């Protein structure tokens, strides 16, 4: 069976509820992808660091209930997970507020177990991470992780990088551009979007943005419900199916797209078929509030 490692951070999620209250859940971009991968039948491990608190205990129990492997989750004494709060507008577009400066996941590359974790990446068929994963690490941690990705790739693992860009996570755009360049070089598969890349490279068109990514397999999600898939230099447009229900929350649309795309590729689908699978699952996810939709809402198949 194919195996995937997802590297990143899960946080406590606060969402407005009636009466000025908040509901509490858990979420994070790569964790969302890990859950959807597991639901799609892919053996998936999550690699992160958490505290030794009861909220971290709840996270791990929840991931295990979803079938996500937690053997490589580091637990740090006297540390806590980060927190984020979501606001959504009338169109379902979301805005995030974060409190994560001292979160345990920021120390993932500086632990006694770090080297063993990095060496194990070569044991997976796919190693998936996002720009947010890299943004929470210091310069030395980013360099260490990217070097390990290169070593894992040399031993046969495929590296999948998602361009999930949040400007507030970076000290400045020049640093972000440098890190993105390094990540593009390390990755076999890049899951990108114009929404992520235009803030980094203002005024560039889709063709120019695609040209910046040298990876052999690239999916560029567009502002419209479509994507461009480029494999070995050949590009093809893929249109998404119309969303059947009202869009209520776009949280995790990209995360679920990544999961369905990777699951389809691991199952033998070609990149265009995989992009259709990604659009299909994302089109279901945006019709429900929160990052993780109810299990019963999962489509019977990822594509049509």
> Tokens for 126?
């796919």
Q: Are 127 and 4 in contact (CB under 8 A)?
A: yes
Considering 29, 125, 255, 270, which one is annotated as catalytic? 255
Is residue 29 annotated as part of the catalytic site, yes or no? no
Sheet of 217-221: strand order equals 73-76, 43-51, 3-7, 126-130, 158-162, 189-193, 217-221, 226-231, 234-239
DSSP state letter for 242? P
What are the phi and psi torsion angles at 83 (to 5°)? -130, 140
In three-state secondary structure terms, 2 is coil
Q: Under 8 Å CB-to-CB from 97, ≥6 apart: which residues?
A: 84, 85, 87
**In the chain, what is the greatest distance between 2 CA atoms, to the nearest angstrom?**
54
CA distance 98 to 241: 33
* Residues with a known catalytic role: 255
């Amino acid at each position: 069976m194919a195996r995937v490692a997802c590297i990143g951070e899960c946080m406590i999620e606060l969402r407005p509820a009636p009466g000025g209250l908040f509901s509490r859940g858990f979420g994070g971009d790569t964790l969302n992808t890990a859950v959807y991968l597991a639901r799609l039948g892919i053996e998936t491990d999550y690699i992160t660091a958490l505290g030794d608190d009861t909220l971290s205990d709840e996270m791990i129990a929840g991931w295990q209930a979803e079938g996500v492997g937690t053997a490589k989750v580091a637990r740090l004494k006297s540390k806590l997970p980060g927190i984020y709060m979501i606001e959504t507008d009338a169109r379902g577009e979301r805005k995030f507020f974060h409190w994560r400066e001292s979160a345990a996941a920021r120390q993932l590359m500086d632990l006694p177990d770090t080297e063993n974790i990095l060496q194990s990446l070569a044991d997976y068929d796919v190693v998936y991470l996002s720009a947010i994963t890299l943004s929470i690490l210091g310069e030395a941690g980013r360099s260490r992780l990217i070097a390990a990705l290169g070593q894992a790739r040399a031993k046969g693992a495929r590296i999948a990088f998602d361009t999930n860009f949040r400007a507030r996570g970076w000290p400045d755009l020049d640093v972000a551009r440098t890190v993105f360049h390094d990540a593009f070089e390390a990755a076999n598969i890049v899951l990108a979007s114009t929404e992520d890349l235009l803030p980094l490279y203002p005024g560039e068109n889709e063709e120019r943005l695609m040209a910046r990514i040298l990876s052999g397999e690239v999916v560029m999600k567009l502002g419209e419900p479509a994507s461009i898939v480029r494999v070995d230099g050949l590009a093809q447009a893929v249109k998404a199916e119309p969303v059947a229900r009202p869009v209520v929350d776009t949280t995790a649309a990209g995360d679920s797209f990544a999961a369905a795309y990777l699951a389809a590729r691991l199952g033998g689908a070609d990149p265009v078929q995989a992009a259709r699978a990604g659009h299909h699952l994302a089109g279901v996810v945006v019709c429900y509030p929160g990052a993780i939709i109810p299990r019963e809402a999962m489509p019977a198949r990822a594509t049509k």
